[in-house]
Amino acid sequence: MNDDEAAREHFVREHTVLARPPLVPELVVTTATDVTPLWHATEAWLGRSGLAIPFWSVPWAGGQALARWVLDHPESVRDARVVDLGCGGGVVALAAARAGAARVLAVDVDPFALTATRIAAEENGLATKLTLLCEDVTGRALEDVDVLLAGDVWYEEAPARRFTTWMAALRQRGVRVVTGDPGRSYVPADLREVARYEVPTPWELESAPSRTARILV
Residue 50 pLDDT exceeds 80: no
Question: Would you place residue 3 in the very low, low, confident or very high pLDDT band (cuts 50, 70, 90)?
Answer: low
Residue 75 sits in which domain range?
3-216
Please count the other Cβ atoms lying within 10 Å of the Cβ belonging to residue 13: 14
Does the CA dihedral 155-160-166-167 come out positive or negative? positive
pTM value is 0.93
Question: Would you place residue 202 in the very low, low, confident or very high pLDDT band (cuts 50, 70, 90)?
Answer: confident
Closest listed residue to residue 186, CA positions, set 210, 167, 207, 203: 167
**Distance of alpha carbon 121 from alpha carbon 178, whole angstroms:** 22
Tens digit of pLDDT for each residue in 62-95?
Answer: 999 999 999 999 999 999 999 999 999 999 999 9
Domain count, the chain: 1
Q: What is the CATH number of the domain that holds 35?
A: 3.40.50.150
Q: Three-state SS string across 88-118, please?
A: CCCHHHHHHHHCCCCEEEEECCCHHHHHHHH
Q: Which residues contact 176 (CB under 8 A, 6 or more apart)?
A: 76, 80, 146, 147, 148, 217
Q: Do 70 and 179 meet the contact criterion of CB atoms below 8 Å apart?
A: no
